[in-house]
A and B are shown apart, each in its own frame.
Chain A
């Protein structure tokens, strides 16, 4: 039994230690907002925060996150940056299919948490690990600027 801190709560999971955090979140804890896209940290759909920093849950063994603070899309609105990012995403209707957007939002929140006024280049660099096959990139950029404005 592995004990984890997910979204501010202590939770237990009866899983093998090599299980990626992604599948513990999805299959064991049924926090399904975090998505599977590639299993090799190539697409970013599984992005969650580990002590506030974005990580790819699909390549993060659950044994390596014991005692760390894990935040998923389901609780990202507990902070003002998360709220602002979600509001900007809704305001600009960023989403299309939506499958990658949890990961996009987690990366955007991580960016804005340490850089309140990112340039296009900062955005492109921070978001480069998050693929969107619908190519909502124009609006992702715009929504990050929008959230930055709201947070200023």
Chain B
């Protein structure tokens, strides 16, 4: 591994400005000196091929008056195509109707995530935050060049030209021209060294209602996902994977598989045996007809119950200290009351609606990939490594992704490399579409890690919360990955303790420590909201227990201890207000109702949810209503923020009943019968309120998730007096 630093071409510096923090991202040594060579677009570069105006890598204006925004980030549902285009179109003063969006190819020199150093990819709710200045400047540069071209053509002062909705006009002379009419001339202008950005009060798109750019294609069946790629001569591959992580093929008999009509080839690859056929159904029948003997000598064979038992044992001893404030030992020694609780969180599958898949076409001089691409640079390097290529020889086409929730940003490029291995195993004689069936996807690992938490709170004689101890046990996602250097400090994986180590409450004595077991062979990965998917639950339900134990109102106690965190307090107050916190809830005979609250910051965005629940006699829980307040800085597209929070609520609600379990190392769930997702009848009414803000925008793809489960659990406790400390919920505990 070696660290590489991207070179700073002058145009790059201009486009990137001072945006964001830059962190080191480590890539395999093969690539250290050979980042893709493609440079940023030059003004006028597009002229030779087509008459286009390309002032930079993010914008292309055609003489047909089309404005194409190039998105460096994956559209996986979170609205990033629309968001990035909104920012650029705002500064360009384009008409929203003329704007379309195209996915960028893998090319880290032009399209790196500015928060990830020299790597291109989408994750951590960073798309808007890292692109904010970059896209504004890209739009403003295009606008300035169009204005300069018009000034020259009309022989007027640039200062007297007005741009609005894709039209430049000069009122004194009455002249007007569209972007398309000026595109060719603008391409001859030089790129400005500095650009003037708009005063936010003049925004016409940002903060308003810019309709999604992908709604039409996604409602008429034309949106293109990886699953929809067909190439001439392409074969579909379905793979027999080992039943346990770490098991290998010992031997296999392909004779019955090869007898299936449509099956063309059966090949062994490092991750199993692939059956290639003319179509998906034949490949699946062939796969099912295979007989494979597995070598389980290196397989991971523990079950979830044994893993959890091991974690509970580890939790008896101190781990590595992730955060220390004051002297927790002293606070506990002098406590009038100590409250303690332990929490268990299961492995969770991402279960995106589009199971993992990837199309790979090998050629003599490289390979071409079609994928719902979330980790461009990592996948480019991973593929280059297994194919013996240089990264720049790996061309990646980014398609829409049918969900991801983190799964397609696989630190090990697992399914992408599997597709390449199959193409390699057949000598590249045909393009290959690897199709994971739902069972392959659900049993394929890379889960949200299983975690155990133990918490203790010290309350002094006056009822004040004076000490807090939080111990976490769970696998690291990051150690051993290219993200290690960026996210691991002194042996502590920052994503294991995010949301816990930065607890916002003003508790004078606090210790957070972590055990990171390294002998668990279950692959783990970021799952929408990552560490906060479990830390928000333990911290926010435990804090509620402290409030109850000290006779304080949960909102009042939070506000009291959030004096130094105005943005947490802001969303909490707004949500409580809008929800009618403190007003009684009416319950029907035989039903118990309750209201609960939680607030959590993740990825620099702040969300509070108030949940209202009804618990029936049989223990079943109905979440009736969620009132949310969010602060994600400047609201680029308020409707998309609401949409993401609604979706995040549903995603988190679903997780209350989800669980991936292992028995003897085998994953017990395979499809939606064993891993039931939330259905429409269980979706509550949702109200989302956005805190007005002029701060720089932060993400909203993930932050709606973490506070939902604790808000519901706190509401259940309010209704029933029962604290649920194990996920998934066991509603038998709630039977009246």
Contact = CB atoms under 8 A, between A and B. Distances in A.
A72 B353 contact: no
Contact of B79 (A96, A102, A128): A96
A99 B403 contact: yes
B475 interface: no
Q: Among the interface residues A31, A37, A43, which one has the most CB atoms of the partner chain B within 10 A?
A: A37
Contacts of B404: 97
Contacts of B677: 43, 131, 133
A43 B216 contact: no
A37 B262 CA distance: 22
Contacts of A132: 353, 650, 680
A20 B285 CA distance: 12
A90 B671 contact: no
B429 interface: no
A140 interface: yes
Given A27-B280, A138-B646, A34 B673 contact: no
B651 A98 contact: no
Contact of A131 (B405, B639, B672): B672
Nearest to A101: B218
B77 A96 contact: yes
A137 B211 CA distance: 19
B15 interface: no
Contacts of A45: 353
Contact of B438 (A31, A38, A86, A128): A38
B402 interface: yes
Contacts of B681: 124-125, 128
Contact of A23 (B224, B280, B640, B683): B280
A35 B403 CA distance: 13
B285 to A, nearest CB: 8
Given A27-B281, A95-B212, A97-B353, A39 B438 contact: yes
Contacts of B201: none
B671 A40 contact: yes
A105 B651 contact: no
Interface residues of B, number: 65
B279 A99 contact: no
Given A73-B221, A89-B215, A133-B353, A99 B402 contact: yes
Contacts of B216: 90
Nearest to A141: B680
Which of A32, A73, A93, A140 has the most chain B CB atoms inside 10 A of its CB?
A: A93
B280 A36 contact: yes
Interface string B228-239: 101000001000
B212 A128 contact: no
A133 B646 contact: no
B402 A97 contact: yes
Interface string B75-87: 0111100000000
Contacts of A125: 681
Contacts of B683: 135, 137-138, 141
Candidate in A34, A38, A39, A72 with the most chain B CB atoms within 10 angstroms: A38
A104 to B, nearest CB: 9
Interface in A41-80: 42-43, 45, 72-74, 77
Chain B interface SS verdict (over half) = loop
Contacts of B403: 96-97, 99, 133-134
Contacts of A102: 221
A33 B671 contact: no
B649 interface: yes
Given A26-B280, A97-B401, A123 B680 contact: yes
A61 to B, nearest CB: 11
A128 B677 CA distance: 11
Nearest to B439: A39
Nearest to A85: B219
B214 interface: yes
Given A97-B352, A128-B681, A19 B405 contact: no
B279 A23 contact: yes
Interface string A117-137: 000000111011011111111
A130 B216 CA distance: 20
B221 A95 contact: no
B353 A86 contact: no
B77 A90 contact: no
B437 interface: yes
A17 to B, nearest CB: 11
Interface of A: 15-16, 19-20, 23, 26-28, 30-40, 42-43, 45, 72-74, 77, 86, 89-90, 93-102, 105, 123-125, 127-128, 130-141
Listed from nearest, the 7 A-B pairs whose CB atoms lie closest are: A33-B221, A135-B650, A99-B402, A98-B218, A97-B77, A96-B77, A137-B683
15 contacts: A23-B281, A35-B227, A74-B220, A90-B211, A90-B219, A94-B219, A99-B352, A100-B402, A131-B672, A133-B353, A135-B649, A135-B683, A136-B650, A138-B646, A141-B680
Given A23-B279, A33-B222, A132-B650, 7 more contacts: A40-B438, A96-B643, A96-B644, A102-B221, A133-B403, A135-B651, A136-B647
